[in-house]
Amino acid sequence: MDTLPVSVLTGASTGMGFEILAELVRRGYRVAALTRSPELLDAKLLGKALADRVEVHAVDLRSRDSIDRAVERILHNCGRIDALINNAGYGLVSTLEEVEDREMIEQFEINLFGLVRVTRAVLPAMRDRREGVIVNISSFLGRVGLPLLSFYNASKYAVEGITDSLRMELAPFGIRVHSVMPGFFSTQFARSNLRLNASIGDGDSPYAPLVETLLSRVQGEINGGDDPRLVALAVAELLENPDAPVRVPVGRMARKFLSMRRELEDREYERRVREYYGI
């Protein structure tokens, strides 16, 4: 059993997750990657130098048993868990009125409850060693709202609340808790991780003018966003710097919108957002 620091990473197969994985391996970490698509990650790792420092675990974040089994295997193989990066998630695009119950429940199952399940599974090992770092990949939309993203917003607001509470709970055990708040990044998110409610494409919906104006603009901003490696660098800095800030906004959109939200009162902030998006 080697002595490399061990990081558990969720959502490691694509986009920001794979960039985080690659950056941590470059910095000398062993990464236990929890993913719903192990075959996709295995294919990406095939023949790459970083493959021998990555172990891939098929996990369903909706299943506590699935998560617990993976964490048990990680502890058996590695002997320790030094860090957890909760990255897995997706965005539900829907109006609040037209959302299906199963859609909003699934949004929270993955973005929030899955994060809680994985965190709960790794905490005993961290507490026993009285050290560890947890980084939750949140979003700038965990502090500011956008139309059509009510449930994604709500799940990320919840992640921010969990982060703040958990940090105080775990401080006596020497465990640090942080969040990274990305803006829009050029990843597969808009192509693969945005799930559209059926009514979004319904021209008869009363919200059709809003959808027509806003959705393509947001998708374009995501696909033309910043380099996702910036998120990986932010995560690595949080892991390695004991004096790192509690939360770190990353990217142009995050800095722009979070600065506006801090500086403006509610009505003026919302006026600026409507003006920016033409809604």
User: What pLDDT digit, counting tens, does each position of 76-125 carry?
Assistant: 999 999 999 999 999 999 999 999 999 999 999 999 999 999 999 999 99
Identify the pLDDT of residue 191. Answer: 53
Q: Which residues of 31-69 are buried (b: 16+ CB within 10 A; e: fewer)?
A: bbbbbbebeebeebbeeeeeeebbbbbebbbeebebbee
* Superfamily (CATH H level) for 6-277: NAD(P)-binding Rossmann-like Domain (3.40.50.720)
Q: In terms of DSSP bridges, do strands 6-10 and 30-35 run parallel, antiparallel, or are they unpaired? A: parallel
Identify the pLDDT of residue 187. Answer: 61
- Give the residue numbers marked as catalytic: 152
User: What pLDDT digit, counting tens, does each position of 239-255 carry?
Assistant: 999 999 999 999 999 99
- Among 68, 89, 91, 72, CA closest to 13: 89
Q: Which ranges of the chain have pLDDT less than 50?
A: 189-190
Identify the pLDDT of residue 190. Answer: 44
Instruction: Locate the domains of the chain by residue range.
Output: 6-277
Q: What is the spatial distance between Cα 43 and Cα 49, in angstroms, rounded to a whole number?
A: 13
pTM score, whole prediction: 0.93
